């Protein structure tokens, strides 16, 4: 259901009955929606904001048919289902995520009571379940029974307006999933990019790598230096040439003012993928994102050089998602909520057509994200999957957990720390490997078990085998009933990347995710070329077909003062089902 004029009239009728409306909300009792018991780690309280400071307040409304969306996602994504491959249209998804008329009426009545006109919303999703409104701090504090503060992040110099808790009238808990900005502190500047520079200016040593022919044999140099030739040989894509280039698209989601550089791409292709020389990509700016060609980003160049290098001539799109203007006390300029995922998701879901394959190389500890926010964002990834997109996320670079692994619930308990969005059951999380003949798990490969999301049926059998073999080891440190990740893996160390004209060695699962995305983009091309729809959400397919992957049985992912999990035969929380074998997967995706 859209926010139609008819619904506005219904709400207006209630608003006109001022005594009734006033009593409805004046007498309302509040129930807490989310709270932190202390200022989130890394942030420092600075001051109280001006009551007139404006916020772009997002409201996520309950979906009247949300369970039907998830059911449809699994139906069109499960090979044994008669609806397999029959992806939903944008209009189909909009209908399933639309709020009930009662939700619209209640929320609009509440907004008007606080002097906010819904018709003046800055943004409404086409399904009507998300809207953004300009709200003053004073209004937000009354609406949410809370007190906002100005908080700074010394490491990044980021400043935000947030609160440590918020509540809603009891009646609205059945109508609202999440409101933000409230207790979610992370911003584009505090997100973790899952990549790191291993060595600078390695180009002079790469003569042999640059002249190596792409073929079936894996060059011995791939033990320490990864190029397009290594990946094509390792994952058996060397002989495949995409043909569905008028339909198939590969998307890369970029953040953190990371700009992909076109000149660096051509230098990279000339050196390591000469067959693709001249191939470029489209940059799409989201939320005032940039495209500064004088400031090449490590993460952006890593992503685009390997997605283009592996998938050419498939069209690639780099989405440059902007952040917020700096916070200025007493400014009348609204502070953008600077939500890392919502900005991009709201944009892409509003598009009539979306890429068949999407990769993102950012994440953060699951516990740092309010559960209501994480669940709402995860549901948006489900919408992408239902529409036929395969969504990959890097699994993180901290093994079973980085830093001291202490919980943020006030108990300071040491627990393994899962990462989000990798822990969302509607994305495909990608861990890391290194070495060749055979590949082994790389020690930083993020993996574990969610504490927010239940274990989905598609992976239960595979995960149960691992947990049973693990026995009592690490009891209490992880949630064996949670969504387990990663799902897959690929090389993640020693990637040659051109940055500002020089060649760097770069590592991280940020390298693994675009690698797997490039290979699955070829599989999407293969399906489309054979008259079939795109793969869409692939997790049910891959767990039903583990033979399509190279099982990784050596290595582990230490963290939290432990050795972490071990890579073993079958699925494991270090490398998932293993690394992709394109030739084995081709018949699987056509079956």
Q: What is the pLDDT of residues 222-275, one digit of tens each?
A: 999 999 999 999 999 999 999 999 999 999 999 878 999 999 999 999 999 999
List, for residues 275-295, the tens digit of each pLDDT value. 999 999 999 999 889 999 999
Which segments are annotated as binding site?
551-552, 570, 572
Q: How far apart are the first and last CA of the chain?
A: 36
Name, of 8-12, 40-44, 240-244, the range with top average pLDDT.
Answer: 240-244
The whole-angstrom separation of Cα 459 and Cα 483 is 8
The whole-angstrom separation of Cα 61 and Cα 391 is 24
Decide: pTM greater than 0.75. yes
Task: Report phi then psi at 327, rounded to 5.
Answer: -70, 130
Residue-averaged pLDDT of the chain: 91
The whole-angstrom separation of Cα 386 and Cα 399 is 30
The whole-angstrom separation of Cα 240 and Cα 338 is 41
Task: Report phi then psi at 499, rounded to 5.
Answer: -135, 115
Look at residues 408, 437, 397 and name the one whose alpha carbon lies nearest to residue 557: 397
Residues 429, 487 contacting (CB under 8 angstroms): yes
pLDDT, mean of residues 75-96: 98
The whole-angstrom separation of Cα 129 and Cα 65 is 11
Query: Looking up tokens 């309302």, which residue turns up?
Result: 28
List, for residues 524-550, the tens digit of each pLDDT value. 999 999 999 999 999 999 999 999 999
Asked whether residue 450 carries a pLDDT value surpassing 80, the answer given is yes
Q: Which residues contact residue 297 at a Cβ distance below 8 angstroms, ignoring those fewer than 6 apart?
A: 254, 256, 257, 258, 259, 260, 261
Of the CA atoms within 13 Å of residue 421, those in its CB half-sphere come to 26
Q: Which residues contact residue 255 at a Cβ distance below 8 angstroms, ignoring those fewer than 6 apart?
A: 188, 191, 193, 321, 323, 340, 344, 362
3-class SS of residue 46: strand
Domains and CATH numbers, the chain: 5-63+98-180 (no CATH), 230-328+343-590 (3.40.50.200)
Asked whether residue 447 carries a pLDDT value surpassing 60, the answer given is yes
Question: In the beta sheet, which residues pair with residue 252?
Answer: 318, 359
* Sheet of strand 123-124, all strands in order from the earlier edge strand to the far edge: 123-124, 130-136, 54-61, 176-180
- 23 CB-contact burial (10 Å; exposed 0-12 / middle 13-18 / buried 19+): exposed
Q: Which residues are catalytic?
A: 299, 303, 510
pLDDT score of 22: 79
Residues 373, 424 contacting (CB under 8 angstroms): no
Look at residues 130, 185, 176, 140 and name the one whose alpha carbon lies nearest to residue 338: 185
Asked whether residue 500 carries a pLDDT value surpassing 70, the answer given is yes
Asked whether residue 11 carries a pLDDT value surpassing 50, the answer given is no
pLDDT bin (cut points 50, 70, 90) of residue 5 is very low
pLDDT, mean of residues 571-591: 97
3-class SS of residue 237: coil
pLDDT score of 333: 40
The whole-angstrom separation of Cα 175 and Cα 64 is 9
Q: What percent of the chain clears pLDDT 70, i.e. is strictly above it?
A: 90
Task: Report phi then psi at 149, rounded to 5.
Answer: -140, 160
CB count in 10 Å sphere of residue 282: 11
The whole-angstrom separation of Cα 400 and Cα 402 is 7
The larger pLDDT score, comparing residue 194 to residue 564, is at 564
Which segments are annotated as binding site for Ca(2+)?
551-552, 570, 572
List, for residues 114-148, the tens digit of each pLDDT value. 999 999 999 999 999 999 999 999 999 999 999 99
Asked whether residue 405 carries a pLDDT value surpassing 80, the answer given is yes
pLDDT bin (cut points 50, 70, 90) of residue 15 is very low
pLDDT score of 132: 96
Of the CA atoms within 13 Å of residue 495, those in its CB half-sphere come to 35
């Amino acid at each position: 259901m859209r926010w139609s004029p008819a619904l506005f009239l219904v709400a207006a009728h209630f608003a006109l009955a001022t005594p009734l409306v006033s009593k409805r909300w004046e007498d309302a009792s509040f129930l807490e929606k989310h709270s932190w018991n202390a200022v989130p780690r890394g942030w420092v309280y600075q001051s109280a904001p001006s009551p007139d400071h404006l916020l772009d307040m997002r409201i996520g409304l309950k979906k009247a048919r949300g369970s039907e969306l998830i059911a449809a996602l699994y139906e069109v994504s499960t090979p044994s289902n008669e609806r397999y491959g029959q992806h939903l249209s944008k209009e189909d998804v909009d209908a399933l995520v639309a709020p009930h008329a009662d939700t619209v009426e209640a929320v609009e009545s509440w907004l008007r009571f606080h002097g906010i006109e819904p018709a003046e919303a800055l943004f409404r999703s086409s399904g009507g379940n998300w809207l953004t409104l300009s709200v003053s701090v004073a209004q937000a504090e009354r609406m949410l029974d809370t007190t906002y503060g100005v908080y700074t992040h010394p490491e990044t110099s980021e400043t935000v307006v947030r609160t440590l808790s918020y509540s809603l009238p009891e009646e609205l808990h059945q109508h609202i999933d999440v409101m933000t900005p409230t207790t979610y502190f992370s911003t584009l500047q505090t997100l973790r990019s899952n990549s790191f520079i291993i060595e600078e200016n390695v180009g002079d040593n790469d003569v042999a790598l640059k002249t190596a022919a792409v073929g079936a044999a894996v060059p011995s140099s791939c033990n320490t230096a990864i190029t397009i030739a290594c990946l094509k040989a390792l994952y058996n894509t060397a002989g495949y040439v995409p043909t569905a280039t008028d339909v198939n698209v590969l998307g890369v989601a970029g953040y953190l003012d990371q700009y992909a550089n076109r000149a660096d791409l051509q230098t990279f292709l000339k050196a390591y993928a000469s067959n693709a020389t001249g191939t470029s990509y489209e940059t799409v700016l989201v939320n005032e994102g940039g495209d500064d060609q004088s400031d090449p980003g490590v993460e952006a160049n890593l992503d685009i050089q390997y997605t283009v290098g592996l998938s050419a001539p498939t069209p690639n799109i780099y989405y440059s998602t902007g952040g917020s203007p700096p916070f200025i006390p007493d400014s009348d300029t609204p502070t953008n909520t600077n939500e890392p995922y919502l900005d991009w998701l709201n944009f892409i879901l509003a598009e009539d057509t979306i890429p068949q394959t999407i990769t993102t190389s950012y994440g953060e500890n699951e516990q740092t994200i309010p559960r209501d926010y994480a669940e709402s964002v995860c549901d948006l990834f489900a919408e992408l999957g239902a529409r036929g997109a395969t969504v990959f996320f890097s699994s993180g670079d901290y093994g079973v957990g980085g830093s001291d692994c202490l919980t943020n619930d006030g108990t300071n308990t040491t627990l393994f720390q899962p990462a989000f969005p990798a822990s969302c059951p509607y994305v495909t999380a990608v861990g890391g490997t290194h070495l060749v003949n055979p590949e082994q798990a790389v020690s930083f490969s993020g993996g574990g078990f969610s504490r927010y999301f239940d274990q989905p049926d598609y992976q239960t059998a595979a995960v149960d085998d691992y947990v049973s073999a693990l026995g009592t080891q690490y009891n209490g440190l992880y949630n064996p009933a949670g969504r387990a990740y990663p799902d897959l893996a690929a090389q993640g160390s020693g990637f040659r990347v051109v940055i500002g004209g020089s060649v760097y060695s770069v590592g991280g699962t940020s390298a693994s995710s675009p690698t797997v995305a490039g290979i699955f983009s070829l599989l999407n091309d293969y399906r489309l070329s054979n008259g079939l729809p795109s793969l869409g959400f692939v997790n049910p397919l891959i767990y039903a077909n583990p033979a399509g992957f190279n099982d990784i049985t050596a290595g582990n992912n230490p963290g939290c003062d432990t050795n972490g999990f071990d890579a073993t035969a079958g699925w494991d929380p270090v490398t998932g089902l293993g690394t992709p074998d394109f030739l084995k997967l081709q018949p699987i995706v056509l079956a």
